[in-house]
Chains A and B, each alone.
Chain A
Amino acid sequence: MNRLWPAVARVTDSALGPYQTAVLRIGVALTWLLFLLREYPHRQELYGPDSPWSWDLAAQLVGANDAFTVLLWSDSQVWFEAVYALAVLFSLLLLLGWRTRTMTALFMVGVLSLQNRSVFMGDGGDNVLHLMAIYLLFTRCGHVWSLDARRARRAARARARGERTHDAVGPALWAVLGVVLLLGSLAGRTDGDWFIPALLWAVWLGQAGWWLAGRLARTDQPRILLDVVGNVAHNGALLVIMAEACLIYATAGWYKVQGSRWQDGTAVHYPLHLEYFSPWPSLAGLLTASGTLVMLVTYVTVVVQVAFPFTLFNRRVKNVLLGFMILEHAVIAVVLGLPFFSLAMIAADAVFLPTSFLCRAGRLAARARGRLRPRGDAVPVPPPRRPDGPPGRPSAVGPAQAAPVTDGVPGPRT
């Protein structure tokens, strides 16, 4: 019990890895947003009612596999355009972290609706986004780097000044969603697989519960309990996300080990010469000109993919490998013409980045933004120093102290 209690307290008292989940949220939402914008000219062919994978064909397949998609609620052009536009909007709002929990739900609906409508248009990148969109729903990914965080800060300052704050947008949004959910359910549109509709109802009820616990309850106990439940769900989802990333690499790696081309060191040559994956043939030719180089890249790819899950037990090795993975995906993005797949994988990789690194990146981004938009209207008054905050320069309390917990991984020392 003595050893168990701190672990229990750790996963119940806080949502671990706030920066990691925030960067995952931003990465996943950005990938899907860029994808939707890039495919905007092709949207009819991909997901429209008259696409080659027509509404009828999709309805037959979904009738058989029960996947969730609102696009099959109607075969009208207007409905399709509306869903596509909303999917764009939801990914932008999730990226910004506006009403994050609601947006994770709506973002998930957008991703699943489009992807399940035309499953044969997708690739590995869509698969990653599909899973992450569902997992994100369980996380509290708006704690930092979000409009929600900014609103919470402003509300806290207002409270500190003794002002009353009230939020009309939240309940309004909640009410609209409730009506849509109810109409969808009553119309029998959610009669397929129960899982996604149940999730949406659970989020909706959970938000009502959270609101009531904050307003009506006589004690703070219900609110604390809901907070604990939220933390536990978040931490569980974070673990699943990390395990999922390991599963991706492990599967990709272990299956490769069995392949003769990965064994004889020529595998990397082949995808680079496939018609569908060679946007820059001359670059591909250059990269595969040396047999030794190709052999090295082939072997290192397999080794890194197989090894990655195990390196999580050692912070430093993990970070080196992580950097390598991200670099490799950046190369894949260009050389194989798979930018959205690569971006999705990099977003998933980012949950393993150390907090100190993410904070530094965040400060750089903020500084760059400040230089671009030096109006300073967002925070009119510099906030007071925290009295018990660590004094002195950041380097004194930077990586050294932050190191032990930087990853927010519920595992040992990562």
Chain B
Amino acid sequence: MDAQDRGSDARHGPAEPGVPGPRTPLPAPTAPADGTDVSDETDRTGGTDRADGPAVPVGAQDQPGGVEQPPGAQMPSDSPRTGIAALSPPYRIGAALALAAVAVTVCVHLGMAFLHVAPPNTVSKKHSETIADWIYPEFEQNWKLFAPNPLQQNVSVQVRAEIRWPDGSRRTTGWYDLSAQDGRDIDGNPAPSHTQQNELRRAWDFYVSTHDDDNRPVGLRGALSESYLRRIMALRLDRADAAGPHGEVARVQVRSRTTQVPPPEWSGEKASDEAEYRELPWWPLPEGETRGGVG
């Protein structure tokens, strides 16, 4: 498919645009180079509707739809025949079938995508299963970018750990503010990594969306989100060297600290500057995670 496109057969000689680089140093390049560029451009975009070749009657010139053009414009004898006009009737049926199949697929796909992103409505509620079957897993999408309202809270995910020492004693660390650490890593960073910008933020969203207010998991995803969050904690605590050279992390506790983004000064609005906390239960770390082993 790559090797012999129509383009390679259709033209003999004239160069295409885009790679005229090496030609520019030549003595008088402008006119031919640019001239071919333009003719080529119309070649490609307009197909037989376009009027720069000998094939098309003058009347079709500059008519975007090319409506005046008679069907099956006669091809110049020296170029290979292409297009539906060059097909014999049985093959035309094949082309028509392909056209119909593509047209139907395009319409159905766009309809499904529309219903998927639109608010739940009469149609999408009635056919929710059909829509889900079509969209998932590969065409899932969410474009509520900062909408309906942008997030107006900073949610900091924090963790503390219970360290177990070789002599059997235990000690609880202070709270590590992992989101603040992410924030510092993002500051002045022209291309923040997904590990800094998305990992913790989205893991927390995932946890919240799959747990009820009493931190009970809902379904498989609830269980997955707990393991995920716990493993992120193990990774980050290991990086912070929370357990020192000899200890190991026995348990972790996660909490979120939510503060309102202060409203702009010029708005005259006041927002509470009190932080809200959500504290999760202590989680014991499994064998493989007490000394890092993640990431």
* Whole-angstrom CA separation of A54 from B95 in the bound complex: 48
B residues 163-205 in Cβ contact with A at 8 Å: 179-180, 182-183, 186-195, 197-199, 201-203
- Would you list 21 pairs from A and B whose C-beta atoms are within 8 A, ordered by A residue? A11-B99, A14-B48, A19-B44, A38-B191, A46-B194, A120-B203, A149-B7, A150-B19, A247-B117, A247-B143, A256-B147, A259-B150, A267-B150, A355-B41, A366-B21, A373-B21, A374-B22, A384-B14, A386-B11, A394-B34, A401-B52
- Contacting residues, chain B, for A334 (C-beta < 8 A): 190
- A residues 357-414 in Cβ contact with B at 8 Å: 359, 362-363, 365-367, 369-371, 373-379, 382-386, 388-394, 397-398, 401-402, 404-406, 408, 412-413
Check A275 against B50 for contact (C-beta < 8 Å): no
User: Quick check: A102 and B26 within 8 Å, CB to CB?
Assistant: no
**For residue B203, which residue of chain A has the nearest CB?**
A120
Check A57 against B3 for contact (C-beta < 8 Å).
no
Q: Is B13 an interface residue (CB 8 A)?
A: yes
Q: Does B39 contact A (CB under 8 A)?
A: yes
Cα distance, A356 to B42, chains bound together (Å): 10
Interface string of B249-285 (1 = CB under 8 A from A): 0000000000001111011000000000000000000
Contact of B47 among A14, A134, A378, A383 (CB under 8 A): A14
Distance in angstroms between the alpha carbons of A312 and B62 in the assembled complex: 19
Once the chains bind, are B38 and A12 in contact (CB under 8 Å)? no
Once bound together, how far apart are the Cα atoms of A384 and B35, in whole Å?
12
- Residue contact B261 to A270, C-beta cutoff 8 Å: yes
- CB closest residue in chain B, given A380: B22
B64 near A220: Cβ-Cβ < 8 Å: no
B14:A383 contact, CB within 8 angstroms: yes
Q: Contacting A404 at CB < 8 Å: which of B34, B64, B195?
A: B64
- A412 with B64: CB separation less than 8 A: yes
Query: Assuming the A-B contacts A127-B141, A143-B7, are A60 and B224 also in contact, with contact meaning beta carbons closer than 8 angstroms in the complex?
Result: yes
Enumerate chain A residues within 8 angstroms of B287, measured Cβ to Cβ. Answer: none
B147 and A390 form a contact (CB under 8 A): no
Q: How far is the CA of A227 from the CA of B80 in the complex (A)?
A: 12
Pair A9/B17 contact, Cβ less than 8 Å: no
* Distance between Cα atoms of A406 and B16 in the complex (Å): 17
Report chain A residues within 8 Å CB of B123: none
Would you call A9 and B85 a contact (CB within 8 A)?
yes
**Are A143 and B44 in contact (CB-based, < 8 A)?**
yes
Q: In the complex the two chains form, what is the Cα distance from A83 to B1 in whole Å?
A: 25
A32 interface residue per 8 A CB criterion:
no
Residues of B within 8 A of A406 (CB): 45
Kindly name the residue among A18, A149, A152 whose own CB sees the greatest number of chain B CB atoms within 10 A: A152
B295 in contact with A13 (CB, 8 Å): no
Contact of A370 among B17, B24, B198 (CB under 8 A): B24
For B69, the chain A residues whose CB sits under 8 A away are: 6, 9
B160 within 8 A of A: no
Q: In the assembled complex, how far is the CB of residue B51 from the closest CB belonging to chain A, in whole angstroms?
A: 9
Do A366 and B20 touch across chains, with their CB atoms under 8 A apart?
Answer: yes
Q: Are B117 and A251 closer than 8 Å at their CB atoms?
A: yes
Could you tell me which residues of chain B, from 82 to 113, have a CB within 8 Å of some CB in chain A? 82-88, 91, 94-95, 98-99, 102-103, 105-106, 109-110, 113
Name which of A131, A370, A384 has the most chain B CB atoms within 10 A of its CB: A370
Query: Do the beta carbons of A359 and B228 come within 8 Å of each other?
Result: no
Q: Is the CB of A255 closer than 8 A to any CB of chain B? A: yes
Q: Are A375 and B22 in contact (CB under 8 A)?
A: yes
For B148, give its contact among A7, A10, A256 (CB under 8 Å).
A256
Contact of B186 among A42, A337, A355 (CB under 8 A): A337
Chain B residues with Cβ below 8 Å from A102 are 1-2
Which of B137, B148, B261 meets A66, CB within 8 Å?
A: B137
Contact among B36, B190, B295 for A50, CB-based, below 8 A:
B295
Task: Give A88 Cβ to nearest chain B Cβ, in Å.
Answer: 16
Is A79 located at the chain interface by the 8 A CB criterion?
no
Decide if A27 is an interface residue (CB 8 Å cutoff): no
Residues of A within 8 A of B216 (CB): none
Q: How far is the CA of A230 from the CA of B94 in the complex (A)?
A: 13
* Complex alpha-carbon distance, A7 and B156, angstroms: 56
Asked if B231 is at the interface (CB within 8 A of a chain A CB), the reply is yes
Q: Is A323 an interface residue (CB 8 A)?
A: no
B173 to chain A, nearest CB (A): 20
Q: In the bound complex, what is the Cα–Cα distance between A10 and B69 (angstroms)?
A: 11
Does B245 belong to the interface (CB within 8 Å)? no
B101 to chain A, nearest CB (A): 9
Asked whether B21 lies within 8 Å of A370 as measured between CB atoms, the reply is yes
The answer to whether A148 has its CB under 8 Å from any CB of chain B is: yes
Once bound together, how far apart are the Cα atoms of A256 and B137, in whole Å? 26
CA gap between A6 and B50 in the complex, in Å: 11
Q: Is the CB of B106 within 8 A of A236?
A: yes
When distances are taken between beta carbons in the complex, the residues of chain A under 8 Å from B4 are 152, 155, 210, 214
Alpha-carbon distance A5/B261, docked complex (angstroms): 59
- The smallest C-beta distance from B262 to any residue of chain A, in angstroms, reads 7
Which of A206, A267, A404 has a CB less than 8 Å from the CB of B62? A404
Is B6 in the interface zone, CB < 8 Å from A? yes
Indicate whether A224 sits within 8 Å of B199 (C-beta atoms), given known contacts A14-B47, A259-B147, A391-B35: no
State the CA gap A240–B110 with chains docked (Å). Answer: 7
A16 within 8 A of B: yes
Measured between beta carbons, the chain A residues less than 8 angstroms from B49 are 6, 9-10, 405
Min CB gap B14→A, angstroms: 4
Q: Are B35 and A370 in contact (CB under 8 A)?
A: no
A228-B98 contact, Cβ under 8 Å, with A52-B231, A366-B19, A376-B26: yes
CB distance from B260 to the nearest CB of A (A): 10
- Assuming the contacts A232-B99, A378-B19, asked whether A388 and B147 have C-beta atoms less than 8 A apart, the reply is no
Q: B5: nearest residue on chain A (CB-CB)? A: A152
Q: Is B131 an interface residue (CB 8 A)?
A: no
Residues of A close to B86: CB separation below 8 A: 220, 224
The segment from A70-78, A182-190, A278-286 that touches chain B is A278-286
Is A316 close to B, CB under 8 A? Answer: no
